[in-house]
């Protein structure tokens, strides 16, 4: 309708809504290339990605996104020809003022008229576009630097989804809910492309804020998400149980204790006798099934976790709750999947075995490498990075350290660059400690320190809602996140959580000191990626004086940093941070 030519790029920015998918399908049908941005991106990030992707058009959700475009318009107007908006409420004066703005519904109307004249349009596009033509350019995680764009072909995406389907089936009668951000490869693979291939019903939240309510109302057939999503669910359930009456709390803890014990026995290969099975089934029917329904997981046939490491404790928790949960390992660069668990062969501490048609091997240095038809074409406009990430024989270097066990499962340590060595020579993966500590409902984020230091320390960001509810139950008055975070009672709570959860580690790998930040870690401050992964190197640099004080034996640190707001404002943020020891 607007003259998009084959292989030109269009960027979509907005929440998970039907127009996002309609736009994606329309761009691909026209032979274009889709790239997506997270709706909470700052204007500077939008500028970077629009310029990097050489986008000819932008399709955005609402006035908020248009305002970001307007702030950077002088820098992109030579390339971007049109900005199309799907929710135009309160924007009538915008269209009178800016000629490059178009209404999404108008473009749909023009397209519908054009379709009547060209009945064979899709067949014509398919005939001249080869299978290896670029279909999407998706951002990499960007944990160490500005994100790169991984170029994925039609073949990459379809092949990955078809081979995932050989392990995880999906039917036309299934209900899906768009949970994870659409610019993330996980949502594209596990939901969008699987939906296209299966014909299942694809549902969307009414608003991002109503996601929990919509999940409970729909009760989807599949549930997929990042570790952060699963950790949030655990926190939500545990917080609800903390606030329940004595009888409900007793039943929950009794049922979960029994279910966790049986889950441990089943995972270890122990045969479960019929009396225990009957008793567990009864508890599951009376206690755990209603609980699954209460959080929207009552009809889930299979659940997937991907996009990062999930704590074995969280994995076992949902397994005990009655979910058929599977780990998936992959990266944007290999269309989101390389390995997963199979039926009857699920191990919480692994990411499963390679999917059909994918080769996974471990290099001499211990790096995981992947080869197959789902591996990307390369990084857009970055030949040097593309050459570095591929071996001469075509394997993708993932940057992850791992090994294959005798059981054929892939075990992952951490990112190669993140593995640390204490002053005494002890090597450890900070991720192991971080995911263990995040099992606590009171801990939102953790960043472990200790490289070349005498002991392990932790920078903690508390879960404001959960800790706030905990404080209210104890009639503790507080005003802000900053105030709550530095309360002695909260430090005692977090100290107990750290001490309890670190017991499984050797003594020299346990957290000895910790701090609770007076602000939440946030993507706008570049502390997290848009998929909520910790940007470790950035945090070490940003909080280097705080870390130095931890190891210098100080008791208090005066924090002075800058924070960013979505509207582009930057302000100073100061306050005292207590440095505390953990009981050994």
Q: Give residue 145's pLDDT.
A: 60
pLDDT of residue 267: 85
d(CA 229, CA 283): 26
Q: What is the pLDDT of residue 507?
A: 92
pLDDT of residue 157: 97
For the cut 70, the answer to whether the pLDDT of residue 288 exceeds it is yes
582 with 499: CB under 8 angstroms?
Answer: yes
Residues in a beta bridge with 449 = 457
Nearest to 339 by CA among 363, 347, 571, 502: 347
Q: Which residue has the higher pLDDT, 366 or 113?
A: 366
Q: What was the pLDDT predicted at 533?
A: 87
329-347 pLDDT, tens digit each? 999 999 999 999 998 899 9
b/e burial code for range 177-186 (CB count within 10 A of at least 16 → b): bbbbbbbbbb
User: E strand or H helix at 422, and its extent?
Assistant: none
Which of 114, 154, 86, 97 is CA-nearest to residue 4?
Answer: 114
User: Does the pLDDT of residue 143 top 80, yes or no?
Assistant: no
pLDDT for residue 115 is more than 80: no
Instruction: pLDDT band for 142, please (50, 70, 90 cuts).
Output: low
At residue 167, the pLDDT reads 87
Q: What is the pLDDT of residue 506?
A: 92
Section 358-376 average pLDDT: 96
Q: Using alpha carbons, list the distances in angstroms from residue 388 to 78, 139, 385, 417.
A: 32, 18, 5, 15
Rg (CA), the chain: 25
pLDDT of residue 191: 92
* Listed range (125-134, 192-201, 346-355, 537-546) with the worst mean pLDDT: 125-134
Q: In this predicted model, what pLDDT tens digit does every residue of 475-490 receive, in sequence order?
A: 999 999 999 999 999 9
Q: State how far the Cα of 353 lies from the Cα of 349, in Å rounded to an integer.
A: 12
Return d(Cα 60, Cα 63) in angstroms, integer: 9
Instruction: Give the model's confidence band at 111: pLDDT under 50 very low, under 70 low, under 90 confident, else very high.
Output: confident
Looking at the predicted structure, is the pLDDT value of residue 391 above 90? yes
Specify whether the CB–CB gap between 474 and 484 falls below 8 A: no
Tell me how many degrees the CA angle 99-102-103 measures, rounded to the nearest 5. 145
Does the predicted model carry a pTM greater than 0.85? yes
Lowest mean pLDDT among 59-73, 118-132, 196-210, 406-420: 118-132
Percent of the chain at pLDDT > 70 equals 99
Question: What is the tens place of the pLDDT at every residue in 64-82?
Answer: 999 999 999 999 999 999 9
Query: What are the structural domains, with CATH classification, of the chain?
Result: 1-129 (3.40.50.980), 147-242+299-416 (3.40.50.12780), 419-581 (3.30.300.30)
Cβ(563)–Cβ(526) below 8 Å: no
d(CA 455, CA 553): 12
Lowest mean pLDDT among 36-50, 129-143, 432-446: 129-143
Helix, strand, or coil (residue 361): strand
| Per-residue pLDDT tens digits for 83-99 | 999 999 999 999 999 99
Residue 53: pLDDT above 80?
yes
User: CB 340: neighbour CB atoms within 10 A?
Assistant: 23
């Amino acid at each position: 309708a607007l003259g998009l030519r084959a292989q030109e790029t269009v960027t979509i920015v907005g929440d998970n809504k039907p127009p996002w998918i309609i736009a994606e399908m329309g761009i691909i049908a026209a032979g274009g290339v889709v790239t997506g941005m997270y709706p909470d991106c700052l204007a500077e990030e939008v500028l970077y990605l629009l310029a990097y992707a050489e986008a000819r058009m932008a399709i955005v959700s609402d006035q908020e996104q248009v305002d970001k475009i307007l702030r950077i318009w002088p820098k992109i107007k030579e390339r971007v020809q049109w900005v199309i908006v799907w929710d135009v409420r309160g924007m009538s004066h915008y269209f009178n003022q800016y000629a490059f703005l178009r209404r999404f519904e108008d473009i749909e109307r023009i397209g519908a008229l054009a379709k009547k004249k060209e009945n064979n349009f899709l067949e014509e596009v398919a005939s001249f576009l080869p299978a290896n033509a670029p279909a999407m350019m998706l951002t990499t995680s960007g944990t160490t630097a500005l994100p790169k764009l991984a170029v994925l072909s039609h073949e990459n995406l379809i092949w990955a989804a078809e081979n995932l389907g050989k392990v995880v089936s999906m039917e036309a009668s299934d209900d899906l809910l768009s949970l994870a951000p659409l610019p993330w490869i996980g949502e594209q693979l596990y939901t969008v492309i699987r939906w296209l291939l299966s014909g299942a019903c694809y549902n969307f939240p009414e608003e991002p804020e109503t996601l929990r309510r919509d999940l409970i109302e729909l009760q989807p057939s599949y549930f997929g998400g990042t570790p952060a999503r699963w950790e949030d669910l655990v926190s939500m359930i545990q917080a609800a149980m903390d606030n329940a009456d004595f009888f409900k709390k007793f039943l929950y803890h009794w049922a979960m204790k029994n279910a966790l014990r049986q889950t441990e026995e089943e995972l270890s290969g122990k045969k479960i006798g019929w009396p225990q099975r009957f008793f567990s089934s009864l508890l599951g029917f009376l206690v755990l099934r209603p609980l699954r329904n209460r959080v929207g997981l009552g009809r889930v046939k299979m659940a997937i976790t991907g996009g990062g490491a999930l704590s074995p404790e969280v994995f076992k928790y949902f397994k005990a709750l009655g979910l058929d949960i599977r780990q998936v390992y992959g990266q944007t660069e290999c269309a989101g999947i390389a390995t997963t668990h199979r039926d009857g062969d699920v191990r919480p501490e692994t990411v499963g075995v390679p999917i059909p048609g994918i080769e996974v091997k471990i290099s001499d240095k211990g790096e995981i490498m992947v080869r197959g038809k789902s591996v990307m074409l390369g990084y857009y406009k970055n030949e040097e990075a593309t050459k570095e990430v591929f071996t001469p024989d075509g394997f993708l270097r993932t940057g992850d350290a791992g090994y294959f066990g005798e059981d054929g499962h892939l075990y992952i340590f951490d990112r190669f660059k993140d593995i640390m060595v204490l002053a005494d020579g002890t090597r450890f993966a900070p991720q192991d400690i971080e995911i263990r500590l995040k099992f606590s409902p009171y801990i939102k984020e953790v960043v472990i320190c200790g490289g070349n230091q005498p002991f392990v320390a932790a920078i903690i960001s508390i879960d404001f809602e959960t800790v706030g509810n905990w404080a209210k139950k104890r009639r503790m008055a507080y005003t802000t996140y900053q105030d709550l975070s530095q309360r002695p009672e909260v430090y005692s709570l977090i100290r107990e959580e750290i001490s309890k959860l670190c017991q499984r580690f050797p003594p020299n790998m346990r957290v000895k000191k910790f701090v609770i930040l007076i602000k939440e870690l946030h993507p706008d401050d570049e502390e997290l990626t848009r998929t909520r992964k910790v940007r470790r190197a950035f945090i070490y640099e940003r909080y280097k004086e705080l870390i130095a004080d931890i190891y210098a034996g100080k008791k208090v640190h005066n924090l002075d940093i800058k924070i960013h707001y979505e509207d582009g404002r930057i302000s100073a943020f100061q306050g005292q941070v207590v440095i505390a020891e953990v009981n050994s």
